[in-house]
Structure 1
Amino acid sequence: TFEPNQTAYNKFINEMAMDNKVAPAHSYLMRIVVPECKEALEDILKRPGAALQLAGKINELYAPELEIEVKN
Structure 2
Amino acid sequence: MSTNSREITLEVGDKEFSFSLSPQDVTKYFNALTATNKVAPSFNLLSTTVNQEQRAGLRELLANPVLTMQIAGALLEEYAPDVEILVKKPSNTLTA
User: Residues of 1 paired with 2:65 and 2:85: CA distance?
Assistant: 34
Count how many residue pairs are aligned between Structure 1 and Structure 2: 72
Q: Which has the larger radius of gyration?
A: 2
Normalised by the size of structure 1, how large is the TM-score?
Answer: 0.87
CA RMSD of aligned residues (A): 1.7
Q: Which has the larger strand fraction? A: 2
In structure 2, the partner of 1:25 is 42
Q: Which has the larger helix fraction? A: 1
User: Residues of 1 paired with 2:44 and 2:61: CA distance?
Assistant: 14
- Cα distance, 1:27 vs. partner? 0.5
Residue identity (%): 35
Unaligned runs of 5+ in 1: none
Give the ranges of 4+ consecutive aligned residues of structure 1 lying more than 6 Å apart after TM superposition.
none
Superposition pairs of residues 1-72 of structure 1, within 5 angstroms:
1-64=18-81, 66-69=83-86
| Higher RCO by CA contacts (8 Å cutoff, separation 6 or greater) | 1
Unaligned runs of 5+ in 2: 1-17, 91-96
